[in-house]
């Protein structure tokens, strides 16, 4: 059966890594290609770049970053952040990205999911959802988690699945940065009805959290940033640990 | 000198395939030119052809048909000259007779079989991620000698009419053909260009044929 994927996520601003590996003497620690290569060499199953550039012009530099990465890194690459049109998607895929993740643009215009998945195939359209709990319900946030919407996360995820999303990248804003584990309650609720793969994101702090994300959250892939960047846990350790616990993992 | 042409008919990420061939040729001192092209002359002159494919089957077939004479030239290359040909993902599926994706559509018909939807209890689609390809026979299987993990992204699979054409199988809901082969024609359901060192190794074996 298909294996659980471990995905490191790098924040890239104006073509440079701003949240990435902090523990190695990389020749150029700001170089996204070098960082992606390091993770690929160390067992990452996929790489995720999140473009946090503020201006539109600087988003073009992401296309160049992707092109350079495709020269060196031969595992799947997902690019997210600020993607708002079919043209954006086309440019990134053409440069060597395998998937794009859409967030705010889909909230503004859900039809972009349908259009993009029909045009490029749903396998390359990831919908990223940032969710936060209010009383008993999770709400969707847009614009990098800064704006609350009226959308209920569970309804929204079901809707984007129906519109043709190929995968869901679900970040818990309650858990993000806390190192207290994934929001397995939210993940498992989504897993109950989801027919496409689910990537868990936000909150991982130790090896058990990865395990719980699979067993309790029923996620298909686990995304993490800071625990990897600060070498608190290596990808190899995660994989060895999960394997010992009989989770299906790629060596 | 090898001339490897990756057929360019508007299918998604073909750059990665080109980069991976360039990388392995360089690493193994293989003198090779790697093109992304739909020019009939390039197809004619090639020593190896790679047919990529992403998205819907019918969109891919229509993309091939859009260039006048391209399919004829590919037929000539693979069936008459019998030079090494590799289909990747939907490029592999196009080797079949027909596909059931969004209606029934004709493929190239080079390897007998139908493209069908993967099925199984609570099976998530697409089948996305790393999975094991296990060789089924050692017969003319130049591409993989041992079982290995490769990166898959697909919802449909190649249901081979002749089991002899299955070179490796993978389990997802059901066992399906992850590598097919018939004489000089090969197809892989996964993405070797996205499958790390083992994927590059497979591409190396292909250009060595």
Nearest residue on chain B to A44, alpha-carbon basis: B196
Number of domains chain B contains: 1
Q: Is the dihedral of CA A99, A105, A110, A116 positive or negative?
A: negative
Nearest residue on chain B to A47, alpha-carbon basis: B194
Measured between alpha carbons, how far is A46 from A5 in angstroms, rounded to an integer?
A: 7
The answer to whether the Cβ–Cβ distance between A123 and B126 falls below 8 Å is: yes
The answer to whether the Cβ–Cβ distance between B54 and A221 falls below 8 Å is: no
Nearest residue on chain B to A251, alpha-carbon basis: B149
The answer to whether the Cβ–Cβ distance between B131 and A3 falls below 8 Å is: yes
At A93-107, the pLDDT tens digits run 989 999 999 999 999
Burial zone of B156 (CB within 10 Å; 0-12 exposed, 13-18 middle, 19+ buried):
buried
Residue-level pLDDT at A59: 73
The reply to whether A95 falls in a domain is yes
Residue among B13, B172, B193 whose CB faces A2 most closely: B172
Tell me if B81 sits within 8 A of B43, measured CB to CB.
no
Which amino acids of B are annotated catalytic? 89, 191, 193
3-state secondary structure of B3: strand
Residue-level pLDDT at A182: 98
The reply to whether A250 falls in a domain is no
Domain ranges, residue B172: 2-208
The answer to whether the Cβ–Cβ distance between B194 and A76 falls below 8 Å is: yes
The reply to whether A55 falls in a domain is yes
The answer to whether the Cβ–Cβ distance between B19 and A251 falls below 8 Å is: no
User: How confident is the model over B34-54, as a mean pLDDT?
Assistant: 96
Mean pLDDT of chain A: 93
**B128 contact A CB<8A:** yes
The answer to whether the Cβ–Cβ distance between A74 and B200 falls below 8 Å is: yes
Residue-level pLDDT at B104: 96
Measured between alpha carbons, how far is A123 from A140 in angstroms, rounded to an integer?
A: 23
Percent pLDDT > 90 in chain A is: 81
Angle between helices A32-41 and A56-72 (to 10 degrees): 40
Distance from the Cα of B81 to chain A's closest Cα (Å) equals 32
pTM of the model: 0.94
- State the ipTM, two decimals: 0.92
Percent pLDDT > 70 in chain B is: 98
At A115-164, the pLDDT tens digits run 999 888 888 999 999 999 999 999 999 998 899 999 999 999 999 999 99
Domain ranges, residue A222: 5-244
Residue B144, domain CATH: 3.40.50.880
At B148-191, the pLDDT tens digits run 999 999 999 999 999 999 999 999 999 999 999 999 999 999 99
Residue A14, domain CATH: 3.20.20.70
At B79-134, the pLDDT tens digits run 999 999 999 999 999 999 999 998 999 999 999 999 999 998 889 999 999 999 99
Q: Beta-carbon neighbour count of residue A86 at 10 Å?
A: 13
Number of domains chain A contains: 1
Most confident of A145-149, A220-224, B134-138: A220-224
Residue-level pLDDT at B3: 98
Residue-level pLDDT at B138: 62
- Exposure string over A109-125, b if 16+ CB within 10 A, otherwise e: ebebbbbbbeebbbbbb
The enclosing H or E element of A173 equals none
In Å, the largest CA–CA distance within chain B is 49
* Residue A231, phi-psi category: left (phi > 0), alpha (psi -120 to 50), beta (remainder): left
The reply to whether A143 falls in a domain is yes
Residue-level pLDDT at A6: 98
Residue-level pLDDT at A217: 98
Residue among A96, A194, A220 whose CB faces B13 most closely: A96
User: How confident is the model over B10-20, as a mean pLDDT?
Assistant: 85
A28 has a pLDDT exceeding 90: no
The enclosing H or E element of A181 equals none
Residue-level pLDDT at B20: 95
Burial zone of B26 (CB within 10 Å; 0-12 exposed, 13-18 middle, 19+ buried):
exposed
Per-residue confidence at A21, pLDDT binned at 50, 70, 90? confident
Q: Please enumerate residues of A whose Cβ is less than 8 A from a Cβ of B.
A: 1-5, 40, 45, 67, 70-71, 74-76, 93-98, 119-124, 166-167, 194-197, 220-221, 250-251
Strands A147-152 and A137-142: antiparallel
Burial zone of A189 (CB within 10 Å; 0-12 exposed, 13-18 middle, 19+ buried):
middle
Catalytic: which of A31, A45, A98, A130?
Answer: A130
SS (H, E, C) B103-143: CCEECCCCCCEEEEECCCCCCCCCEEEEEEEEECCCCCCCC
Per-residue confidence at B13, pLDDT binned at 50, 70, 90? confident
User: Phi, psi (5° rounding) for residue A190?
Assistant: -70, -40
Instruction: For an interface test with B, give the residue of A75, A121, A162, A200 to mutate (most B CBs within 10 A).
Output: A121
Residue-level pLDDT at A56: 66
DSSP B194: G
**B176 contact A CB<8A:** no
Residue-level pLDDT at A57: 67
Q: Does residue B126 have a cis peptide bond before it, meaning omega lies within 30 degrees of 0? A: yes
At A189-215, the pLDDT tens digits run 999 999 999 999 999 999 999 999 999
Measured between alpha carbons, how far is A134 from A154 in angstroms, rounded to an integer?
A: 13
Per-residue confidence at B24, pLDDT binned at 50, 70, 90? very high
A22 has a pLDDT exceeding 80: no
């Amino acid at each position: 059966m298909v294996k659980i994927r471990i995905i490191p996520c790098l924040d890239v601003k104006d073509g440079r890594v701003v949240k990435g590996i902090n523990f190695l003497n990389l020749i150029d620690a700001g170089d996204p290609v070098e960082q992606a290569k390091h993770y690929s060499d160390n067992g990452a199953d996929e790489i995720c770049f999140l473009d946090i550039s503020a201006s539109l012009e600087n988003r073009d530099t992401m296309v160049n970053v992707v092109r350079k990465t495709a020269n060196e890194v031969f595992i799947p690459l997902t690019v997210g952040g600020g993607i708002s049109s079919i043209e954006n998607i086309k440019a990134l895929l053409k440069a060597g990205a395998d998937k794009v993740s859409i967030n705010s643009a889909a909230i503004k215009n859900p039809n972009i999911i349908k259009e993009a998945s029909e045009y490029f195939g749903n396998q390359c359209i990831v919908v990223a959802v940032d969710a936060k709990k209010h009383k008993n319900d999770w709400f969707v946030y847009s614009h990098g988690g800064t704006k609350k919407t009226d959308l209920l996360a569970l309804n929204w995820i079901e809707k984007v699945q129906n519109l043709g999303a190929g995968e869901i990248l679900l970040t818990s804003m309650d858990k993000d940065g806390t190192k207290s584990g994934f929001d397995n309650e939210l993940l498992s609720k989504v897993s109950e009805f989801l027919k496409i793969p689910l990537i868990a994101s936000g909150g991982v702090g130790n090896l058990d959290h990865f395990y719980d994300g699979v067993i309790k959250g029923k996620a298909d892939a686990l995304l993490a940033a800071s625990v990897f960047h600060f070498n608190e846990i290596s990808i190899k350790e995660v994989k060895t640990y999960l394997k010992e616990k009989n989770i299906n993992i790629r060596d | 000198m090898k001339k490897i042409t990756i057929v360019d008919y508007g299918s998604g990420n073909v750059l990665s395939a080109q980069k991976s061939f360039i990388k392995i040729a360089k690493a193994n001192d293989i003198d090779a030119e790697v093109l992304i092209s739909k020019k009939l002359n390039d197809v004619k002159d090639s020593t190896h052809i790679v047919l990529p494919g992403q998205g819907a089957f019918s969109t891919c077939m229509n993309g091939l048909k859009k260039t006048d004479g391209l399919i004829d030239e590919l037929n000539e290359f693979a069936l008459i000259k019998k030079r090494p040909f590799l289909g990747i993902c939907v490029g592999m599926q196009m080797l079949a007779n027909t596909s059931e994706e969004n209606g029934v559509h004709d493929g190239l018909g080079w390897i007998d079989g139908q493209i069908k939807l993967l099925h199984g209890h609570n099976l998530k689609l697409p089948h996305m991620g790393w999975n094991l390809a296990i060789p089924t026979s050692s017969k003319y299987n130049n591409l993989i000698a041992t079982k290995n993990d490769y990166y898959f992204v697909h919802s449909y699979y190649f249901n081979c009419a002749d089991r002899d054409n299955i070179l490796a199988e993978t389990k997802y809901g059901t066992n399906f053909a992850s590598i097919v082969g018939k004489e000089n024609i090969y197809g892989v359901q996964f993405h070797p260009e996205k499958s790390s060192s083992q994927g590059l190794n497979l591409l190396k074996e292909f250009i060595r044929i």
